[in-house]
């Protein structure tokens, strides 16, 4: 090999701790508010559906939390994941920039989601829970949790949004192969489902309500969430910690770290370990969060308390929001179609520590195809947004004639997203954008809650 | 980590040479025969559709052939691939056996096929060829070649069997994403296609004829084949060479090496480097080739000269065959539905150096699901046959109460095969078997050719 392009770690390099960025942030974090009382929500608001181990992680003030041995062991099924230098993409872009990417598509489910599904399944198994219920839209999260439950002998019940259930039978088969039971939502299984029977295509909001209802009504069953919450972002920090070691192997320090944002767990996973160094004054790395122009939470949302779900069952969280009942246009990056974002990430954007950018579908897929034809891997539509931002950064470096080290998170492959590529290549991809009218309508429906300073 | 489960190599461990087992076999190899003259075919029979570099590899008597730097460089996009110890499967089987698997599903196309697509594209690019034509059934080979062509700036034209083209639009999108042009075969593009227009679902035989016709009629275009030929098996030996280093890291020597067989390239790839040691008297490793009961070439075919394709355009090759016009039942392991097998592998089976076993679909998928629920990875239906044989070996070790080290080739993931899992889990999977009547009919249609001693 003339020049190294792949930076691999050994099995012993699977991180031993998760990085809890919350502990590093100045001041007290804004508390979530109970949807019943409007008062700060406490651990007791969460115990009916989450095990104590995860609740402790959710509110922990420790800067590092030890990863249980059984979790590290299961991580070893696919971790450490590879980090690549994208030399072929660099040549195609004719840029002096060095582009690195951390690839999470080698997990059994094909994305970063198992990084949190595994510890969530583990903590529930430890707590004597027999079964987990969850919702899934495009199917990435449901697949990851089904896989994780198979590893810890837990049952898994997935409420899959009706339209996805019909359009993506293969995601359903994947979950069933790992032993999960998959319901088309709205289903007959729950009151929430039966009450919404007329909404035949379903929605993520309805599916969440069904899963929460099942978990709340059965002591042996808990609920699991794939993004947004502190403990989920915490679990994902294995990505950034490995990437940090691998960048050391490469002998470079990233000038900028780029990742896509849906609920924030992929972004937090790769960025937080690097951000900790910046907060400590040890580095000047920049951070770019890439989102779809059709669902521009960080770039155009308002910073307010809002519900995490459409139906208003979850605590109110301080975050950028497009309104909890906003239904984003059906862009192919299904994992980025969320009205809010992780409070932890939103606070960092608000403080100026993270820059957010929004991209349209066609420019995003143009960069994804260029990536596939140079680096080989066909990216999922979600990280294609990060690739678009990387191309901008690399072009800026070329125009400025300056060196620049770019690291981005390639959080999953596109094997289940080829219909999107098909539409792009056929020129059938639309470029929906969020409108002023959308924003006004959303603001009118925001819940009563204290303003954020 | 309590015990190692993953054996990783560095980028510098990508093999520098391919292993040419042909050079190690005693006696002269049986020559292929020209379909026109019935006399031994020479390199001149191949020059219209293959570049000289590949023809030299096809007939080489060197025991090792150096891998060009540009090929090693492209291999580095995903090689070395990981080798795992299947500790969770071992526990589920309650076996004293140690089970290892070499996983080729981390390549961009998701299988071992790019190992030969890359050097084939490279040699053609070196020879000044502008474009490659090929056929594809299920789409694995077409995807791999499309990816490889994108790496070396070659055009790529794929004739995809009509029924697959209709059923697997995502495989087509994948090839197009890498820049290939995909035709539904039979097509209007060729005389062979137009002559077969009434066979609307197409067949691999027709698709081969179309690709060969395009390549033969255009000096700037060559043909590429994804299995069977010596040079294809040669390229795949990177798998076994890496596995050998990784088994050394694990401190074990395989008692048995298991792989599935369609045309033989996956089997040859993992087995030949180990077989070379056996032929040299340095090891007593056994070898098991797993095939579908619906297309039992090695277990029930006759050892005779036969055509490589349905239409009889290719040279006659000495091999086990079910008859060149046998159309196997539509089992889901599309990559194993081939009437013959690589002459190199067939000779080894005939000589007793490799044991062949055939498995039915349902028992195969039962083992695949057990593997997915323990090891996480959902295997493609083809290597699921190898897993079935591994389970047998592991159970035999348990019954005998003896240690046994098993290594198998997991040549690809099942992300594009979930419909097959769906059918299995729903109890809708059939168990077709090859019949005596099938064999008699095939024997009656074998071409005139010298008998093999």
User: B182-214 pLDDT, tens per residue?
Assistant: 999 999 999 989 998 887 888 888 898 899 999
Mean pLDDT of A42-55: 89
pLDDT digits (tens, 9 = 90+) for A351-370: 999 999 999 999 999 999 99
pLDDT tens per residue, range B214-243:
998 999 999 999 999 999 999 999 999 999
B202: alpha, beta or left, given left = phi > 0 and alpha = psi -120 to 50?
left
Tell me which residue in A6, A174, A373 faces B178 most closely, judged by beta carbons.
Answer: A373
| pLDDT of residue B106 exceeding 80 | yes
**SS3 at position B379:** strand
Query: Cβ A169–B5 below 8 Å, yes or no?
Result: no
Is B376's CB within 8 Å of A78's CB?
yes
Q: Which of B261, B333, B348 is nearest to B303 (CA)?
A: B348
Top residue of B378, B420, B423, B427 to mutate, by most chain A CBs within 10 Å, is B378
Instruction: Return the bridge partners of B288, or none.
Output: B258, B355
Contact A73 B1 (CB under 8 A): yes
Chain A residues whose beta carbon lies within 8 Å of the beta carbon of residue B69: 2
Residues 35-74 of A with CB under 8 A from B: 69, 72-73
Q: Which residue on chain A is closest to B378 by alpha carbon?
A: A108
Nearest CB among B12, B110, B421 relative to A177 is that of B421
User: Checking DSSP bridges between strand A83-85 and strand A98-103, what pairing results, if any?
Assistant: antiparallel
| SS3 (DSSP) at A204 | helix
Q: Hey, is the C-beta of B111 within 8 angstroms of any chain A C-beta?
A: no
Burial zone of A399 (CB within 10 Å; 0-12 exposed, 13-18 middle, 19+ buried): exposed
B24/B21 Cα distance (integer angstroms): 5
> Above 80 in pLDDT, residue B10?
yes
Q: What are the φ/ψ torsions at residue B439 (nearest 5 degrees)?
A: -65, -45
Whether the pLDDT of residue A118 is over 60: the answer is: yes
CB A285 within 8 A of CB A256: yes
Average pLDDT of the residues in A6-10: 91
Q: Does the distance separating the beta carbons of B419 and A78 come in below 8 Å? A: no
In Å, how far are B222, B244, B399 from B288, measured between CA atoms?
Answer: 35, 17, 19
Q: What is the spatial distance between Cα A186 and Cα A128, in angstroms, rounded to a whole number?
A: 29
Instruction: Return the residue in A1, A89, A424 with the most chain B beta carbons within 10 A, the one to mutate for interface testing.
Output: A1
Please report residues of B whose CB lies closer than 8 A to that of A169.
418-419, 422
State how far the Cα of B106 lies from the Cα of A32, in Å rounded to an integer.
Answer: 41
Confidence of residue B337 (pLDDT cuts 50, 70, 90): confident
Instruction: Using a CB–CB cutoff of 8 Å, tell me whether A76 touches chain B.
Output: yes
Q: What value of ipTM does the predicted structure carry?
A: 0.93
Chain B residues close to A174, C-beta within 8 Å: 378, 418, 421
Using CB atoms, which residue from A5, A76, A416 is nearest to B415?
A: A416
Burial of A134 (0-12, 13-18, 19+ CB in 10 A): buried
Q: What is the mean pLDDT of chain B?
A: 94
Q: How far apart are CA A218 and CA A235, in angstroms?
A: 26
**In residues, how long is chain B?**
453
Give the per-residue pLDDT at B2.
60
Test B174 with A421 for CB contact under 8 angstroms: yes
3-state secondary structure of A90: helix
Q: What is the pLDDT of residue B231?
A: 97
Q: Find out whether A284 and A278 touch, Cβ atoms under 8 Å.
A: yes
Assign 3-class secondary structure to A391-412.
HHHHHHHHHHCCCCEEEEEECE
pLDDT at position B77 is 94
Checking if the pLDDT of A443 tops 90, the result is: no
Helices (H) and strands (E) in chain B, counts: 17, 15
The pLDDT > 90 percentage for chain A reads 77
User: A21: which residues sit within 8 A by CB, 6+ positions away?
Assistant: A233, A237, A268, A272, A275, A276, A279, A344
Question: What average pLDDT score do residues A170-189 get?
Answer: 96
Confidence check: pLDDT of A1 > 50: no
More confident position, B339 or B388: B388
CB within 8 Å of chain B, chain A residues 325-344: none
- DSSP tag of A267: H
Query: What is the structure's pLDDT at A3?
Result: 79
- Between the alpha carbon of residue B8 and those of residues B79, B103, B273, B302, B351, the distances in Å are 10, 11, 19, 41, 34
As a whole number of angstroms, the distance between CA B208 and CA B161 comes to: 9
Gap between the Cα atoms of B180 and B33, Å rounded: 33
Q: Is the pLDDT of residue B1 over 70?
A: no
Confidence (pLDDT) at A425:
96
* A2 confidence band (pLDDT: 50, 70, 90): low
Nearest chain B CA: its distance from A278 CA (Å): 31
pLDDT at A438: 87
A165, A135 Cβ separation under 8 angstroms: no
Q: Given this model, what pLDDT does residue B209 score?
A: 86
Please indicate whether, in this complex, the C-beta atoms of A421 and B8 are within 8 angstroms of each other. Answer: no
- Checking if the pLDDT of B287 tops 90, the result is yes
Surface of A (139-158) touching B: CB under 8 A: 147, 150-151
Kindly give, in sequence order, each residue whose CB lies less than 8 Å from that of residue B444, ignoring residues fewer than 6 positions away.
none
* Per-residue pLDDT at B386 exceeds 90: yes
Q: What is the mean pLDDT of residues A391-415?
A: 97
- Give chain A's mean pLDDT: 94
Does residue B445 sit in helix, strand or coil? coil
Q: Which range is most confident: A441-445, B117-121, B325-329?
A: B117-121
- Arithmetic mean of pLDDT, B425-429: 95
Q: Which residues of B221-257 are buried (b: 16+ CB within 10 A; e: fewer)?
A: bbbbbbbbbbbbbbbbbbbbbbbbebbeebebebbbb
Which residues from A are below 8 Å from B77, CB to CB? 5-6, 84, 375-376
pLDDT (average), residues A83-105: 98
Nearest to B8 among A2, A8, A416 (CB): A8
């Amino acid at each position: 090999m003339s020049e190294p392009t792949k930076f691999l770690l050994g099995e012993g390099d699977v991180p031993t701790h998760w990085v809890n960025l919350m502990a590093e942030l100045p001041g007290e974090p804004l508390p979530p508010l109970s949807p019943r009382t409007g008062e700060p929500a406490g651990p007791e608001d969460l115990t009916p559906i989450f095990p104590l181990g995860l609740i402790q992680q959710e509110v922990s003030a420790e800067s590092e939390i030890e990863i249980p041995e059984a979790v590290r062991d299961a991580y070893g099924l696919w971790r450490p994941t590879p980090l690549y230098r994208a030399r072929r993409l660099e040549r195609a872009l004719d840029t002096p920039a060095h582009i690195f990417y951390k690839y999470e598509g080698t997990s059994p489910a094909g994305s970063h989601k198992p990084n949190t599904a595994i510890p969530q399944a583990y903590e529930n198994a430890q707590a004597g829970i027999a079964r987990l219920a969850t919702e899934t839209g495009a199917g990435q999260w449901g697949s990851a949790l089904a896989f994780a439950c198979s590893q810890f002998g837990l049952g898994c019940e997935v409420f899959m949004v009706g339209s996805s259930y019909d359009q993506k039978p293969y995601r359903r088969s994947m979950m069933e192969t790992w032993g999960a039971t998959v319901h088309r939502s709205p289903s007959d299984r729950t009151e929430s489902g039966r009450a919404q029977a007329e909404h035949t295509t379903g929605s993520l909001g309805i599916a969440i309500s069904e899963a929460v209802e099942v978990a709340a009504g059965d002591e042996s069953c808990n609920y699991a969430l794939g993004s947004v919450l502190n403990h989920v972002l915490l679990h994902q920090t294995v990505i950034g910690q490995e990437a940090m070691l691998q960048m050391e192997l490469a002998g470079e320090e990233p000038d900028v770290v780029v990742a896509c944002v849906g609920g924030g767990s992929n972004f937090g996973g790769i960025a937080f370990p690097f951000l900790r160094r910046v907060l400590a004054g040890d580095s000047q790395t920049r951070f770019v969060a890439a989102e779809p122009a059709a669902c521009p939470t960080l770039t155009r949302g308002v910073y307010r308390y809002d519900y995490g779900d459409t139906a208003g069952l979850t605590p109110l969280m301080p975050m950028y929001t497009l309104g909890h009942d906003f239904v984003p246009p059906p862009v192919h990056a299904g994992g980025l179609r969320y009205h809010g974002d992780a409070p932890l990430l939103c606070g960092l954007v608000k403080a100026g520590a993270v820059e957010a950018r929004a991209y349209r579908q066609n420019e995003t897929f143009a960069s994804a195809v260029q990536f596939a034809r140079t680096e080989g891997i066909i990216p999922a539509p979600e990280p294609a947004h990060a690739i678009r931002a990387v191309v901008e950064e690399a072009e800026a470096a070329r125009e400025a004639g300056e060196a620049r080290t770019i690291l981005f998170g390639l959080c999953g492959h596109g094997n289940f997203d080829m219909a999107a590529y098909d539409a792009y290549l056929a020129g059938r991809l639309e470029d929906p954008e969020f409108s002023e009218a959308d924003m006004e309508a959303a603001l009118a429906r925001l819940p009563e809650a204290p303003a954020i300073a």
